[in-house]
Chains A and B, each alone.
Chain A
């Protein structure tokens, strides 16, 4: 089916239709109604279980709400932007921003490149053991963090497996989890291991949506493999790349689980991320501060996503 797959797939959905006559207007109105019917079940559940809690927590960030106020949520002091201002004079919070920044700047490109490489390799002429490779690369994603922590300690500790392997090559590996320099690279390593699978699957799905005819045509025109990849595959993958980049950065900016189970944010705060800072504040019962810090993180996530939307927006 669908032999004539139009490849300007990347064209924005909101292509204006020609003509402005009255039948079109009626159709547009009818389509608007249908569209809302399509959206209705989502909108109802979404509003109740997502918007309401978000609005409440946003409200909390402007108050001095603590764990002792949970039974009387409205009897709290309204402090405006005070908590936001306090955050930016809190050294630990500033440190956590730079830790998260480090993780994101190194982790996102690394994960995307690894995932894309694997997806392309799996989608190349390989036909033996394909399922095995897919499952193999995806398995790290499905393993729960608690079990991962136990195993990764065996790997990362000073006389662990990683340093043993490095030893074969004459490298004297560092004490990964106890070094302020090497704890972050170790966390990034774990995160890449854990997240590549998901991204690889998304990229594979995107790659497979590209019809072979197009690439064949290019190949016949004499384009080499690298040229076909950069000129045809990558541009057609824009929506998928955007999806991957946004999902990954939303996840990575909330970097938390790896230091939580491996280093407790240490040594000397070198792996204390913003989400970890928020978690600690919740633990201390300072809900107001925790909410404010969360919304600072939110603004950063939103800004980064905006940049990505700009950079990867489909070109007409």
Chain B
């Protein structure tokens, strides 16, 4: 603990909080500190990536080799069999499609609905506001397992079992999303909105023209969090879907790689790599958007 704290202090000694090229001399990080930062980042990223590297290499081993020699990193003989089984024998395509449909719909719903209600909670006065926010926080804090059975009973009463809506609706809005949007939006200066109001803009116009364009980073954050939540969700889709054609990736992953008392580790790890790949792509795409939004929103 102490070590970490000390390190923070040292590292922050000469840290500036914006891209170097846009900043004047006063904020530039000196060379020697840049080196220290790089060194620490490289060590940190190696630690962070280590398990992933193990996973990638192990997925290229045969089941026999994983069982015989689980600790070696580089496979003695490389095999693509674990991957080809996912594509040819199992047909991972249908599960990908399902996962994407559910995740995209969930993300879209969260972006639209959570930012709308987040704006109302952050920047508008209305009766019941405190109660609404209170309820959102209560829901955020309720342990998920406890509502599981009642939720399923509800969904089956509504006749939605084994449909896409059953997979999507319970997550179309999330208390986390509302909280996140509200927190960021409450950081938007009131003066900006007042100026727009004085110009005669209505709330809808202000929301779309003034507030949303400023919300690039939080919307990117919300998209990643929601996408990830949906992408890795296991128990709910399993229960709500009742035939294989509605199954999502995580279900397929355990379904095909885990038996009653034996696990096909190679298949499991290869499948995990395939499941992770799209998220890495999504993250790469969105993080570029992070950088852009910073450049466009205010500094220049």
Touch between A and B in complex, CB under 8 Å?
yes
In the complex, how many residues of chain A place their beta carbon closer than 8 angstroms to a beta carbon of chain B? Answer: 128
- A57 x B146 contact (CB < 8 A): yes
- B218 x A205 contact (CB < 8 A): yes
Contact digits for A39-64, partner B, Cβ 8 Å, 1 yes 0 no: 10111011011111110110010000
Does any Cβ of A come within 8 Å of B17's Cβ?
Answer: yes
Q: Provided the pairs A110-B1, A205-B290, A290-B145 are in contact, do residues A6 and B192 lie with their beta carbons within 8 angstroms?
A: yes
State in angstroms the CA–CA spacing of A216 and B17 once bound together: 10
State in angstroms the CA–CA spacing of A6 and B214 once bound together: 14
- Residues of chain A within 8 A (CB-CB) of B117 are 38-39, 41-43
Which of B15, B109, B140, B146 has the most C-beta atoms of chain A within 10 angstroms of its own C-beta?
A: B146
Q: Provided the pairs A2-B214, A121-B40 are in contact, do residues A134 and B287 lie with their beta carbons within 8 angstroms?
A: yes
Q: Provided the pairs A6-B189, A11-B190 are in contact, do residues A121 and B37 lie with their beta carbons within 8 angstroms?
A: yes
Does any Cβ of A come within 8 Å of B279's Cβ?
Answer: yes
Q: Closest CB of chain B to A288's CB: distance in Å?
A: 11
Q: Provided the pairs A278-B143, A278-B145 are in contact, do residues A125 and B28 lie with their beta carbons within 8 angstroms?
A: yes
Does any Cβ of A come within 8 Å of B259's Cβ?
Answer: no
Does any Cβ of A come within 8 Å of B262's Cβ?
Answer: no
Interface members, chain A 150-207 (any B CB < 8 Å): 150-152, 154-155, 159-161, 193, 196-198, 201-202, 204-205, 207
Interface stretch of the complex, out of A79-87, A89-97, A221-229, A263-271:
A221-229
A interface vs B, CB < 8 Å? 1-15, 28, 31-36, 38-39, 41-43, 45-46, 48-54, 56-57, 60, 70, 73, 109-110, 113-114, 116-118, 120-128, 131-148, 150-152, 154-155, 159-161, 193, 196-198, 201-202, 204-205, 207-212, 215-216, 219-220, 224-226, 229, 233, 239-240, 242-243, 246-247, 250, 254, 275, 278-279, 282, 287, 290-291, 294-295, 297-298, 301-302, 305
B interface vs A, CB < 8 Å? 1, 4-5, 7-9, 11-24, 26-29, 34, 37-38, 40-41, 44-45, 47-52, 54-55, 58, 70-71, 109, 112-114, 116-117, 119-129, 132, 135-151, 153-154, 169-170, 172-173, 175-176, 178-180, 183-192, 202-204, 207, 214, 217-218, 220-221, 224-225, 228, 231-232, 234, 250, 253-254, 263, 265, 268-269, 271-272, 275-276, 279-280, 283-284, 287-288, 290, 293-294, 296-299
